[in-house]
Chain A
Amino acid sequence: MNRSALKSILTAILIIVLLIMIFPMLYMIVLSFQKPGSFTISVDDFAITLENYIVVFKSNNFGRYFFNSAFVALTVTLGNMLFCAMAGYGLSRGFKKIARPVFFSAVAMLMIPAHVLILPIFKMMLEFAWFDTYLALIIPWLVAPLGVFLMKQYIDGLPADLEDAARVDGAGELSIFFRIVLPLCKPALAVLAVQIFLTTWNSFLFPKILTNSEDMYTLPVGLALMQDPRSSDWPVTMAGSVVAALPVIIFFLIFQKRITEGITAGALKQ
């Protein structure tokens, strides 16, 4: 078989898979514009109406969910950028005998399934009186082991000459970190930021168990609890889904390169 015939066959298969991957997303978008009460998209009953979006924002509090999601995801992302860079720097340049086991602890925590910790975290948040507040949605998530891992690996690859030169000039440790190390970390910070933002924006289990008033719900929680899917008004549910999913998809299309780098960074380290 010659190369061009092979390529045509492969392309045909890839296109079929593409349709399977994209169809449910397109279905969601089109169904969100159908008449309220429709169960699915039908030729006879086809419509384009914004009514469902109005319902979602007016009677379902989606404006508030959107704000919560954005506020929590942004704060958690900024926190991780600062604290993981600090930790990565400390573990990369710090006294090796201690830094090495501490770094290993971060790698070990990467392997811990966070979902098995829902009960102690839930109880701790009750005891701290952080339950159902932004504190519970933000504070426990500010230093991700993944971030510590990524930043330490990245800083390992940076030469220490500049820091040493600044030290000889009498610069303080904090100013060395903020003026020299942090700016050099930009590429790694971008990768980390994108990863953390996506995970936080999409996360469900912890925001679900750590909140119980509608004003504190994030988009995924509000969406899941909006209606019982068995009796729900599907175009409205899909309008809510679009509100939750579209920002992330647009974000992905803009930052595609960074996202791909973040995911493959770990893979290539193997």
Chain B
Amino acid sequence: MKTDSKVLLFSLPWLIYLAVFWLYPIGYSFFLSLTDYQLLRGTGLYIGFENYSRLFSDPVFLKSLKNTFYFVFGTIPATTILALILALFIAEKTPGHKIFQAAYFIPSITAMVVVALIFYNLYSRGGYIYSLCLLAGISPPVNGFLQSEKTALLSIMAMDVWVAIGYYVLIFLAGIKSIPVELYEAARVDGAGFIKRSVGITIPLLKSTFLFVIVLNTIRSFQIFVEIFVMTSGRPFNSTLTAVYFIFDRGIIRGDIGYASAAAYILFMIMLVFSLIQFKLINIRKNV
């Protein structure tokens, strides 16, 4: 056997995992979505695309999709813009910039369960954020931020921005560091200020970093689950029910595996479309 064919055998661990834990579940999931498989009964019959047509007229599922979109498109612009601004500030090498960078990052390496518990307390009636609003003259919802249909999802979104920001600051900083210093020299001669330099030089050169940040954050945000599980279980009135929580609730809790698999497939397809669009955008950038 030729050497490079022998060496190829080293990739067997990945090939096995690709087959067993990725491709097979993807296929199996589709197969399950065409059945009425119930966990308790342990069997399922082929029912074609009935689960899919039922889902598209299930107001709870549609609501979960709507909430997920709301979450994704609400948090991503906020996180991206704030992270960029903070990265630009830190890149100015202000005193203690290393400390800022490290401290901002701590929330994103903390288990989401922990973060969700802390914020559950802060958002509750009598919690610090609740009391702070009272002090500031803003009247919070009577029972706490997570108990009101109007504020629950928004509160979780605000927390998510807080959690995620440090991670993307780091990625933006890496992007800023990769910009050659010479590009700033002309600006320095002209005496261009911080804002002029940022808008004129840095931000336009960060386009691919932007895309990378948005791709990562989209994939992550569409899968939001832990904070919903810990904080609200989708309540009140399904106002915080997200797609993955719906899949978990119907599939694992109620054991309606067939139906939940179809929901998972729909979410999968939606995310695939987004990933492909984003990949296209990255490729366009590379070819320019």
Size bracket of the B interface? 35 or more
The interface residues of chain A lying within 8 Å CB-to-CB of B271 are: 113, 116
Give the docked Cα–Cα distance between A17 and B26 (Å).
42
Report yes or no: B28 in contact with A120, Cβ–Cβ below 8 A.
Answer: yes
The interface residues of chain B lying within 8 Å CB-to-CB of A33 are: none
The interface residues of chain B lying within 8 Å CB-to-CB of A111 are: 219, 272, 275, 279
Given known A-B contacts A6-B193, A113-B223, A260-B170, A248 and B109 have beta carbons under 8 A apart: yes
| Chain B 216-247 interface residues, beta-carbon cutoff 8 Å to A | 219, 222-223, 225-226, 229-231, 244, 247
Give the docked Cα–Cα distance between A208 and B171 (Å).
30
The interface residues of chain B lying within 8 Å CB-to-CB of A67 are: none
Report yes or no: B118 in contact with A90, Cβ–Cβ below 8 A.
Answer: no
| Chain A 220-256 interface residues, beta-carbon cutoff 8 Å to B | 220, 223-224, 229, 234, 237-238, 241, 244-245, 248-249, 252-253, 256
Q: Mark B208-221, 1 if CB is under 8 A from A, else 0.
A: 11011000000100
Report yes or no: B7 in contact with A90, Cβ–Cβ below 8 A.
Answer: yes
Q: How many residue-residue contacts, CB under 8 A, span A and B?
A: 286
Q: Mark B9-26, 1 if CB is under 8 A from A, else 0.
A: 111111111100110111
Give the docked Cα–Cα distance between A87 and B13 (Å).
6
The verdict on B29 contacting chain A, using a C-beta distance below 8 Å, is yes
How many positions in chain A have a CB within 8 Å of any CB in the partner chain? 89
Closest partner residue, chain B, to A21 (CB atom): B104
Report yes or no: A122 in contact with B21, Cβ–Cβ below 8 A.
Answer: no
Report yes or no: A124 in contact with B117, Cβ–Cβ below 8 A.
Answer: no
The smallest C-beta distance from A196 to any residue of chain B, in angstroms, reads: 13
Q: Mark B91-120, 1 if CB is under 8 A from A, else 0.
A: 010111101101111110111111101111
Report yes or no: A112 in contact with B106, Cβ–Cβ below 8 A.
Answer: no
Could you list some 8 contacts between A and B, CB below 8 A? A10-B92, A21-B106, A87-B14, A93-B7, A102-B14, A111-B275, A245-B110, A264-B174
B interface residues (Cβ-Cβ under 8 A, vs A): 2-18, 21-22, 24-26, 28-29, 32, 86, 89-90, 92, 94-97, 99-100, 102-107, 109-115, 117-122, 124, 126-128, 162, 165-167, 170-171, 173-175, 178, 193-194, 208-209, 211-212, 219, 222-223, 225-226, 229-231, 244, 247-248, 251-252, 257, 260-261, 264-265, 267-268, 271-272, 275, 279, 282
